[in-house]
């Protein structure tokens, strides 16, 4: 099976076990999000019929998405205990309405999605549910397990993430810093939610890359406790309209890694000041207008809260 190679930097990111379920606070918010969606659009919280999407059983296979292709309305059954890898290393592709049902317990430690735009185009990832998480993998209790999305160094175009839900992954939720070392492509994460992942939740590294209108949540008890938003060189990485609630775990915003400085520009956001900000290797985090320290993480409107909801496109 094809692997998606990654170099995971942990750099003193502690973990205290894991929690395969939503925390009480997060669970309440999830129910509220589903109820709101159902009220607004007439019962979206009810699972759609299976003929609205294709069910694919994970059997250790690799699925390749070609240039210009739209891959959509898939429910991936992870209860088989096997892995499944989706790769898209071309241009102008779209991944839409995809839900993963069950925890990834394969232990392969790969990336579920290995992606990039290698021809200077624009690609899209929208309405994806990866909320059932992964086991640690590779027998390593300190992470280096499954990554949800890994963006390859050759990425030189642009990728839009919207309405993505990633929780309880044993490695980065969106690992998008590698293009800073080579391709220089940009990434925009908008209206998305990540919780209780290891190493980091949203990890970016290039000028023009940003996280907007999104939330990061880390439990205060057991679970993976990676950084909130981690910016690598060269930057600058923008953070706008975000809620970063860490419950004192790890750091809310980290700038810099591997001895290389970068910059983060934060506006209209709240971060956990107990978890705080870390500036490494001469990096800086610039706090602009309307930045506070009383975050209230939430699941943004339109973000799927179940595999079936994602696969059927409910909420879009």
Task: Render pLDDT for 121-141 as a digit per residue (tens, 0 to 9).
Answer: 999 999 999 999 998 765 555
Integer Cα distance of 209 and 6 in angstroms = 20
**Which of 171, 179, 127 is CA-nearest to residue 149?**
171
Instruction: Identify any residues that bridge with 215 across adjacent strands, giving them in sequence order.
Output: 193, 243
- Residue 162 belongs to some domain of the structure: yes
- Residue 85 belongs to some domain of the structure: yes
Is 312 in a helix, a strand, or coil? helix
pLDDT surpasses 70 at 215: yes
Q: Give the β-pairing of 147-151 and 111-117.
A: parallel
- Residue 289 belongs to some domain of the structure: no
Integer Cα distance of 95 and 111 in angstroms = 15
Question: Once rounded to an integer, what is the mean pLDDT over residues 32-39?
Answer: 36
Split into its structural domains, the chain has a count of 1
Residue 223: predicted pLDDT: 76
Question: Once rounded to an integer, what is the mean pLDDT over residues 81-87?
Answer: 97
Q: Average the pLDDT over each of 220-224, 231-235, 256-260, 292-296 and give the range with the smallest value.
A: 220-224
- Residue 155 belongs to some domain of the structure: yes
Confidence of residue 2 (pLDDT cuts 50, 70, 90): very low
Evaluate whether 90 touches 67 at the Cβ level (below 8 Å): yes
Model confidence, pTM: 0.86
**Which of 215, 211, 277, 276 is CA-nearest to residue 247?**
276
- Residue 222 belongs to some domain of the structure: no
Range of the domain at 315: 41-189+301-316
Confidence of residue 33 (pLDDT cuts 50, 70, 90): very low
37 vs 182, 266, 290, CA distance in Å? 41, 29, 28
Query: What would the two tokens of residue 1 be?
Result: 């099976």
- Buried/exposed code over 218-248 (b: 16+ C-beta within 10 A; e: otherwise): bbeeebbbbbbbbbbbbbbbbbbbbbbbbbe
Mean pLDDT rounded to a whole number for the chain = 86
Question: Once rounded to an integer, what is the mean pLDDT over residues 20-30?
Answer: 38
Q: Which residue intervals of the chain are DSSP H helices?
A: 24-41, 307-312
pLDDT surpasses 90 at 158: yes
Confidence of residue 50 (pLDDT cuts 50, 70, 90): low
Integer Cα distance of 27 and 24 in angstroms = 5
pLDDT surpasses 80 at 18: no
Question: Once rounded to an integer, what is the mean pLDDT over residues 20-33?
Answer: 38
Residue 221: predicted pLDDT: 65
Residue 28: predicted pLDDT: 35
Evaluate whether 166 touches 129 at the Cβ level (below 8 Å): no
pLDDT surpasses 60 at 16: no
Residue with tokens 């890694």: 257
- Residue 214 belongs to some domain of the structure: no
Q: What confidence tens digit (pLDDT) does each residue in 302-311 have? A: 999 999 999 9
pLDDT surpasses 70 at 75: yes
- Residue 256 belongs to some domain of the structure: no
- Residue 238 belongs to some domain of the structure: no
């Amino acid at each position: 099976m094809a692997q998606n190679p990654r170099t995971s930097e942990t750099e003193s990111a502690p973990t205290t076990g894991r929690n395969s379920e939503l925390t009480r606070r997060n669970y309440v918010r999830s129910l509220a999000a589903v109820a709101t969606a159902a009220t607004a659009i007439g019962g979206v919280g009810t699972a759609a019929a299976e003929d609205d999407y294709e069910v694919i059983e994970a059997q250790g296979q690799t699925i390749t998405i070609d240039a210009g292709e739209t891959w959509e309305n898939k429910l991936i059954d992870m209860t088989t205990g096997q892995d499944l890898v989706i790769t898209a290393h071309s241009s102008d592709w779209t991944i839409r309405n995809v839900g993963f049902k069950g925890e990834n317990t394969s232990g392969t430690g790969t990336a579920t999605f290995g992606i990039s735009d290698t021809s200077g185009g624009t690609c899209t990832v929208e309405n994806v549910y990866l909320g059932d998480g992964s086991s640690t993998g590779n027998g390593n209790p300190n992470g280096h397990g499954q990554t949800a999305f890994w963006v390859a160094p050759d990425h030189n175009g642009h990728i839009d993430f919207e309405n993505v839900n990633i929780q309880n992954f044993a490695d980065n939720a969106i690992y998008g810093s590698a293009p800073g070392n080579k391709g220089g492509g940009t990434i925009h994460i908008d209206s998305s939610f990540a919780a209780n992942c290891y190493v980091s939740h949203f990890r970016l590294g290039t000028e023009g890359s940003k996280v907007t209108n999104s939330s990061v949540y880390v439990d205060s008890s057991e679970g993976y406790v990676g950084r909130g938003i981690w910016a690598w060189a060269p930057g600058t990485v923008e953070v706008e309209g975000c809620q970063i609630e860490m419950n004192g775990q790890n750091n809310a915003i980290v700038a810099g890694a591997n001895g290389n400085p970068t910059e983060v520009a934060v506006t209209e956001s709240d971060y956990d000041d107990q978890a705080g900000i870390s500036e490494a290797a001469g990096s800086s985090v610039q706090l602009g207008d309307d930045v506070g320290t009383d975050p209230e993480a939430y699941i943004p409107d339109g973000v799927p809260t179940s595999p079936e909801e994602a696969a059927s496109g409910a909420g879009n």
